[in-house]
Every structure is written in structure tokens, then in C-alpha cells.
Structure 1
Amino acid sequence: MSTLVEDNPAKNRFEILVDDALAGFTAYLPRGEVLVFTHTEVDPKFQNMGVGSALIRATLDQLRERGTRVVPRCPFVAAFIDRHPEYADMVTAQP
């Protein structure tokens, strides 16, 4: 299974492709140097396969490289960061 996570700024979301099929996305609202994550969705046929976690991990890794901070309003993103405290330093207060 090959996966690719990429930013789709036209739709304000990061998307995960599994074997070239859109498997899920995490939506954000841009607020300057901060992204407010509002919703994460994984296609039902890709659920319980770790796709959501792979999406959030790759998204946060890309944002860390850019120096972007996040507001995890989406419960899935917030829970992921709680389980992976190495990303906690990227969280900022609501802009």
C-alpha cells in the first residue's frame, strides 16, 4: 500500500492518497502562520487501517518543516497530538 500526503491549498485541506485513490483529508482554516484544523474524514473503505493517523502524522511533519503552528479544533487531530506529545510544541492558542 503506497500513501502520499499533500497539501491542497485550493481546498484548504491536506489529502492522503492510498494507491492513487483519495482515502481521506484533514481540513483547515488558514490564519496567517497558523492553521486551524476543523475536520478530518477517512473514506469508510480505508478506516481501521491507520490511514487517519498516517494523514495527521505526515501533515504535522510537513507543517513543522514550514514552521507553521496549529490549533487542533478537530477532535481527531487533538487526540492524535495528545497521543503523540512530540507534536505538542506546534499547538498554539486560538489566533
Structure 2
Amino acid sequence: MTDTDDQPTVSRNDEDHRYEVHLGDVLAGFTQFRADARGRLLFPHTEVDPAFRGRGLAQIVVAEAMADAARRGETVVPHCPVVSKYLETHDVPGLSVEWPHKPHPE
């Protein structure tokens, strides 16, 4: 585990189609998204660098991604198991979620 006292920060990176969580200047993890033909945001994958695991960073980046999508009025389609689990256990005010019929292969 990498030692750092930096607080995690989350930002949306539209160029790389993902929300990123940083500790200081270091990219510690991300959750990817892509817009489908209907304009919904599909979330296929979330990843945290092994050096930063065990700090709850996946939850932090997904929480902020879902809150930001809600603020933007976007609809989320969770294919990633991390995103799905988060949405099953947390209420995100104002977020529109459309559950997929089939799991998305990673």
C-alpha cells in the first residue's frame, strides 16, 4: 500500500471517458463510461491501482460519478459489478438508472 496523506479527489475526464480518483497528483483509479445511441451513460468497468486498494477509492469514484450524472440529468446503465453494487446499496437523489437485461462482459 502506498503511503500518502492526500485526500482523494474525483474529476470527470471526458477525453478518456472516465471519472478519475487521484491522491495528490497520482491517478489511483477510475470508472469508465460511454454514451450509447440513446445518450445514456453505460458504466462497463471500474479499476483501482493495486497500490491503493483497501482505501475505499472504488466507492469514492463511483459515488462521485453517480452524483455528477444525477446533477447533469443523465441516465446511467450499470454494467460494472462495482457500479451495480453501489447503486443497489445507495440512494442517489435525482439519478435515473436503467438496469441492463444482460450483464456486460468485462
Measured against the shorter chain, the TM-score band is 0.7 to 0.9
Runs of 4+ aligned residues of structure 1 deviating over 4 Å after TM superposition are none
Q: Which has the higher helix share?
A: 1
Query: What RMSD in Å do the two structures reach over aligned CA positions?
Result: 1.6
State the Cα deviation string for residues 40-95 of structure 1 (Å, max 9, x = none): 000001111111101011111111110111000011100111111x138521255x
Q: State the alpha-carbon separation in 2 of the partners of residues 40 and 83 from structure 1.
A: 17
Aligned to 1:25, which of 23, 30, 33?
Answer: 30
Q: Which has the higher strand share?
A: 1
**Higher alpha-carbon Rg:** 2
Number of residue-to-residue matches in the alignment: 93
**Structure 2 SS opposite 1:87:** coil
Unaligned runs of 5+ in 1: none
Q: State the alpha-carbon separation in 1 of the partners of residues 73 and 47 from structure 2.
A: 25
TM-score (norm. length: structure 1): 0.88
How does 1:1-95 map onto structure 2 within 5 Å?
A: 1-31=6-36, 32-84=38-90, 86-87=91-92, 89-94=95-100
User: Retained in 1: the 8 A contact 2:7–2:24?
Assistant: yes
TM-score (norm. length: structure 2): 0.80
Q: State the alpha-carbon separation in 1 of the partners of residues 66 and 75 from structure 2.
A: 9
Identical-residue share of aligned pairs (%): 32
Unaligned runs of 5+ in 2: 1-5, 101-106
